[in-house]
Structure 1
């Protein structure tokens, strides 16, 4: 554990991942091994930086912006993995806003696995990509639920 923030180097790396991701920083990819694997709902499983770029292009075509709420993050870790759950907020291209905990979507759980050198070798992202609840026909229990 780091004495500075009370977290391991892997949790610190995951926090840095979210900072770089939300800022759109190209050095985000420096956190990954060259042949890393990722999963994102509706995209499926991908491998490497080129396929991650393809995912990012698709998301940016539907979203004006999105960010992760650092204060909502909860971390669970083992020797070579970190699981984090939290919430996001953002705006679709059509102007619809979402905020996890206040709207139907916007909650996530990510599973990161690390190599011995500290690079991310796998990240699987679990969430409902219908952040704002546009797919209301599948709200089987109505929309008067606590989010």
Structure 2
């Protein structure tokens, strides 16, 4: 992926995030051969629930390995992402997924309370992600029900 040092439009930022999602959904490699980790700056930070804060590409790669070891397949529903654009380096994306976790399958909305809905806040500049904070329920297979009396 080529890196440019110029201002970016919201559409360019969306394109970076969309390409990253496609690579992640494709086992970590984009259709052009770009590894998902290469969409991140060397000093990027990435937060994922129940994992914590990864600082730098090497820690983000470890987070991806840890998470990837539990997910057999995932599909981000890119056709229905809600984009929150700010005209700055910050943007947010809200969407749904389905897939297969080592503990079982999931699909957003099935059941309604379970995994599959997510929101992530990104900072994208110079065609790289510098910050990604993911907000979702990491209990993909919906097994953690005993602690919640309303389920």
Answer whether TM exceeds 0.5 for this pair. Answer: yes
- Structure 2 unmatched ranges of 5 or more: 1-9
> What's the TM-score, normalizing by structure 2?
0.81
Aligned-pair CA distance for 1:42: 0.6
Match of 1:15 in 2: 18
Aligned-pair CA distance for 1:93: 2.0
* Secondary structure class of the residue paired with 1:8: helix
> What's the TM-score, normalizing by structure 1?
0.83
Give every structure 1 segment of 4 or more consecutive aligned residues whose post-TM-superposition deviation is greater than 4 Å: none
- Structure 1 unmatched ranges of 5 or more: 1-6, 143-147
Aligned-pair CA distance for 1:108: 0.6
Query: Greater helix share, 1 or 2?
Result: 1
Match of 2:75 in 1: 67
Could you tell me whether the CA contact under 8 Å between 2:45 and 2:60 is conserved in 1? no
**Cα distance between partner residues in 2 of 1:106 and 1:9:** 26
Give the structure, 1 or 2, with the largest relative contact order (CA under 8 Å, sep 6 or more): 2
* Number of matched pairs: 134
1:30-89: CA deviations, max 9, x gaps? 221111001000111111121112112222222221221112311001111110011111
Range moving further from structure 2, 37-46 or 54-63: 54-63
Root-mean-square deviation (Å): 1.5
